[in-house]
């Protein structure tokens, strides 16, 4: 009798993405509702346990150096304050292009992220550097405005030179069950973005349950998001590792069923290299190394960058340097 033996191969560990792209066309709310209902639920205890387990991974030596550089290149250096001025944005853009002026091997960050009115200024400072200009729009952070106002917000940011738009979903509509409205807005903003990349902020701290996070992730991806993003950074609960895990699983499943690869951005409260490494381990072990690139994973942060620089120097020199070694912003 022949023995049916099949060794699992390295190919089995990869996320398999079908070539034929087939994002299902969503024609009405009932269809969208049915699609979301077909998604598996999330067991909160299990998801949190998995994230906690992956947080114990120990990243050392050359892997650590690689990961620190990778994390630097994934930072969306952010300032979203009422007190923002052109001067502050200039300083941020300078830092974004050359995070550590003494060391040319430090990569630039992925983007600077500002309010729409400062996009033109950021654009002029960054010039033709590799650093993109990202702008929050759609009445960030609450999203409480008419669609007309939100689209104008987006159009102005794009016109001023934004490469990336970070929109917020209408959490009020989502939580009251008007998911068709949430979807339609994302579709409309996708169109208004034109060539600009769209990141859709779910504001997971307001969605509260992991089931909601998974559903909102799918609505955003079906609506045309290039990235799904955890948080605005303006509510009490921002990015958490279990939330990121659920979003990464959504991105993986979406790629496998539709052929479309969507990125993930975690934002809010990520301040240390240790935090950043934990997220990258989650990425590596959930969706795989393909997502370990600024094209598909970002950190929305400000103070994180200096900690990454400090750890990078510590890895090379074997000792910590003073925090004043690095510019404040």
Backbone CA torsion sign across 283, 50, 224, 76? negative
Catalytic residue among 100, 253, 265, 307: 265
Q: Is 95 a catalytic residue?
A: no
Strands 297-301 and 111-114: unpaired
Catalytic residue list contains 170: no
Q: How far is the CB of 149 from another protein (least distance, A)?
A: 38
- Tell me if 321 contacts another protein by CB under 8 A: no
Of 269, 189, 195, 276, the C-alpha closest to 232 is 269
* Chain residues 59-88 in contact with another protein, contact rule CB under 8 A: 59-64, 66-67, 70
The C-alpha atoms of residue 144 and residue 215 are separated, in whole angstroms, by 21
Q: Out of 43, 103, 191, 325, point to the residue binding another protein (CB under 8 A).
A: 43
- Closest by alpha carbon to 76, among 309, 299, 306? 299
Candidates 48-56, 222-230, 233-241, 307-315 — which segment interacts with another protein by CB under 8 A?
48-56
Comparing CB distances to another protein, the nearer of 86 and 288 is 288
Nearer to another protein, 125 or 202 (CB): 202
**What is the number of other CB atoms lying within 10 angstroms of the CB of residue 117?**
13
CA distance 302 to 57: 25
166 annotated active-site: yes
Which one is catalytic: 229, 253, 275, 307? Answer: 229
**Comparison of 197 and 214: residue with beta carbon closer to another protein:** 214
How many residues are present in the chain?
Answer: 329
Say if CB 255 and CB 15 are below 8 A apart: yes
CA 258 to chain centre: 20
Residue choice 33, 57, 98, 234 for contact with another protein (CB under 8 A): 57
5 binds another protein (CB under 8 A): yes
User: Is the separation of the CB atoms in 241 and 278 below 8 Å?
Assistant: yes
Which positions are catalytic? 166, 229, 265
Kindly list the residues in this chain that would bind another protein in the complex (CB under 8 A): 1, 3-20, 40-43, 45-47, 49-50, 56-64, 66-67, 70, 246, 249, 259, 284-285, 288-290, 292-293
């Amino acid at each position: 009798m022949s023995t049916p033996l099949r060794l699992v191969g390295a190919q089995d560990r990869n996320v398999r993405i079908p070539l034929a792209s087939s994002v299902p066309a969503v024609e009405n709310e009932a269809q969208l509702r049915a699609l979301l209902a077909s998604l598996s639920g999330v067991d909160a205890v299990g998801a949190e346990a998995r994230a906690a387990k992956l947080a114990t991974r120990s990243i050392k030596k050359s892997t650590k150096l690689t990961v620190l550089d990778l994390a630097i290149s994934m930072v969306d250096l952010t300032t979203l304050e009422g007190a923002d001025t052109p001067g502050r944005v200039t300083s941020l853009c300078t830092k974004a292009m050359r995070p550590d002026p003494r060391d040319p091997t430090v990569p630039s960050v992925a983007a600077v992220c500002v309010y729409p009115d400062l996009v033109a200024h950021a654009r002029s400072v960054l010039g033709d550097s590799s650093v993109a200009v990202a702008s929050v729009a759609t009445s960030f952070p609450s999203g409480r405005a008419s669609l007309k106002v939100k689209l104008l917000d987006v159009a102005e940011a794009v016109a001023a030179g934004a490469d990336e738009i970070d929109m917020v979903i209408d959490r009020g509509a989502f939580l009251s069950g008007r998911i068709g409205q949430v979807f339609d807005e994302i579709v409309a903003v996708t169109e208004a973005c034109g060539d600009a990349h769209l990141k859709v902020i779910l504001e997971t701290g307001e969605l509260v349950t992991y089931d909601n996070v998974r559903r909102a992730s799918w609505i955003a991806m079906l609506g045309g998001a290039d990235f799904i993003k955890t948080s605005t950074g303006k509510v009490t609960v921002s990015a958490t590792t279990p939330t990121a895990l659920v979003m990464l699983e959504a991105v993986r499943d979406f790629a496998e069923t539709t052929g479309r690869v969507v990125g993930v951005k975690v934002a809010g409260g990520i301040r240390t290299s240790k935090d950043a490494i934990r997220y990258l381990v989650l990425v590596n072990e959930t969706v795989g190394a393909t997502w370990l690139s600024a094209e598909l994973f970002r950190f929305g942060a400000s103070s994180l960058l200096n900690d990454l620089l400090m750890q990078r120097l510590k890895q090379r020199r074997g000792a910590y340097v003073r925090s004043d070694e690095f510019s404040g912003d």
